Amino acid sequence: MDVNAYDRWVEGIKYMYTGYDKKFAENNTTAIIGTGSAPGVMCVMARKAVNELDECDTLNMMVYEGVEAKRFLPFWWSTDVALADMQEDAFAFEDCKQIRTKPFSRKITRRWPEYDMQPVTLCEHAHDEPVYVGFNREKYFKGCRNAYFKYGGVGIQFAEPLYRAGLLSWDEEEIDGQKVVPHELVLKHVPMAPKDPEVIKEIIDEGLVSDGGAFVIEAYGKKNGKDVMVELHLNAPGLVESYERAKMTGEMYLTGQGAFLYTKLFVNDMIDQKGLISSDMLDDKQVEQYIEWAKELGITYTIEIKEGVVPTDLHG
């Protein structure tokens, strides 16, 4: 992504908060943006973690995709979007400023119970959450000064070598007299994410290499005058369980149910804000109701507050 494109994206979100907010408010209506799994569920859970603090210094939002089929299938959501995200500059909010970071950069290592405390690697990845936090830090995130989104797993392991080889570039090249856009060539050869129940069942029946993942938030700050880190882990149905529940993939389940729960707030007359908001701008009562309804769908969380922990290993 070039500098201007990046700036247009951030300015576009800013305009939604201002221009479109005004338009919806004038009509006495409400719009919520970023309502899938991430952003969406991620934003609600980030709010839950930050609410455990008196003040927040750093918010680190992480997703590790561990679902892997035996057939070649690197992505479980839109391949077009996935590959586009992989070659774009990432968003981070650092020292109270929106900044650009390079994709696959600033790698960090974590050890989580989801992976038997074995090391997993995550990196910078283009996502909206740090931008939201930057705009909403004072009112919704206890004055948060730094916010990151880190991603890892099967899709990253597939895409990083392509990026480093220049194969995710949109720049047209001439090879042996033929004009080629590398990104389009790669996209042509990567299968689309499965969506039909019959295809999903075939993939499951063929056997899986793994059916795991991790969805983790670290919120660093002060509580009762002490340095603490709030660590929140989301638990949600994987591929096999999601198919058993709803004949869909885990990605479809968490994304779809994440959106459904925002709709449920509307249907139950629990949204009284007017204008346009992002998914991190629910009030505390709405956050708790969202989480309570999520439990009914098998989407739960664990939370641990660790004293004496300050931000480390965030930049790689």
The helix/strand/coil state of 11 is helix
Is residue 56 scored above 50 in pLDDT? yes
The confidence score (pLDDT) of residue 20 equals: 95
Mean pLDDT, the chain, integer: 95
Identify whether 188 is part of a domain.
yes
Please give the Cα distance from 271 to 262 (Å, whole number).
Answer: 9
The confidence score (pLDDT) of residue 45 equals: 98
The confidence score (pLDDT) of residue 100 equals: 93
Sorted by sequence, the CB contacts under 8 Å of residue 259 that are 6+ apart come out as 35, 36, 40
Please give the Cα distance from 232 to 213 (Å, whole number).
Answer: 14
Identify whether 272 is part of a domain.
yes
Residue in 152, 134, 129, 151 with CA at minimum distance from that of residue 40: 129
Residue in 15, 14, 110 with CA at minimum distance from that of residue 66: 110
Question: Backbone dihedral region of 4: left (phi > 0), alpha (psi from -120 to 50 degrees) or beta?
Answer: alpha
pLDDT (tens digit per residue) in 155-196: 999 999 999 999 999 999 999 999 999 999 999 999 999 999
Q: What is the pTM of this model?
A: 0.94
Identify whether 260 is part of a domain.
yes
Please give the Cα distance from 242 to 160 (Å, whole number).
Answer: 28
Domain that holds residue 206: 3-307
Identify whether 35 is part of a domain.
yes
**pLDDT-based confidence at 60, cuts 50/70/90?**
very high
Is residue 58 scored above 50 in pLDDT? yes
Identify whether 316 is part of a domain.
no
Identify whether 167 is part of a domain.
yes
Identify whether 312 is part of a domain.
no
Is residue 5 scored above 70 in pLDDT? no
The confidence score (pLDDT) of residue 3 equals: 47
Provide the strand spans (E) within the chain: 30-33, 55-69, 90-94, 97-101, 108-111, 119-124, 146-153, 173-175, 178-180, 208-223, 226-235, 275-278, 300-307
Which has more pLDDT, 230 or 310? 230
The confidence score (pLDDT) of residue 1 equals: 45
β-strand 146-153 against 55-69: which pairing, if any? parallel
Tokens at 6, concatenated: 């990046």
Instruction: Report percent pLDDT > 90 for the chain.
Output: 94
Place of tokens 């002060």: 222
Question: How many domains, the chain?
Answer: 1
The confidence score (pLDDT) of residue 295 equals: 98
pLDDT (tens digit per residue) in 224-255: 999 999 999 999 999 999 999 999 999 999 99
Identify whether 314 is part of a domain.
no
Looking up residue 56, the CATH number of its domain turns out to be: 3.30.360.10
